[in-house]
Amino acid sequence: MTPFGERLRQLRAARGISQKQMARDLEISNAYLSALEHGRRGVPTRSLLIQICTYFNIIWDEAEELERLAGLSDPKVTVETGGLDPRATRLANLVAQRIATLDGPTLDRLLAILDVARPDGQTGRGRAGERPADPAD
């Protein structure tokens, strides 16, 4: 399940809405909605995201969070490392080779490290104030 799919399922459950009912209300197939929730389809369109936000009466921060999760939920990722540091290519290949075998705690540690290493070069706290694990450990 993708981060977007997990959040979508939480929203449905909190409101007591079945997948079948939501699909009918949004005028999409139940199979498509199921595939979105389980990560068997790519990122939903912006139009569908707006429909979902309207459907659940989601505004501002929660809508932005849902859109952010959708962006992080593409089950087929391509990483272009041409022109980057060779270590970036090595990292991308190692992740691709080993992602299916990583356990929960290892995934959490890697996410914490990457959450702190922000794209703007700044450093800061990870998710919910967590500090990343020391890679030397």
CATH of the domain at 64: 1.10.260.40
pLDDT in tens, 43-95: 888 899 999 999 999 988 888 888 888 877 766 778 888 888 889 889 988 88
Instruction: Calculate mean pLDDT across residues 33-40.
Output: 89
* Confidence grade of residue 119 (pLDDT, cut at 50, 70, 90): low
Looking at residue 127, the DSSP 8-state letter turns out to be: G
Please compute the mean of the pLDDT values over residues 99-124 and round it to a whole number: 81
117 in the same domain as 90: yes
The parent domain of residue 37 ranges over 3-71
Helix, strand, coil content of the chain in percent (nearest 5) = 60, 0, 40
Structural domain count, the chain: 2
Give 137 or 66, the one with higher predicted confidence: 66
Q: Rounded to two decimals, what is the model's pTM?
A: 0.58
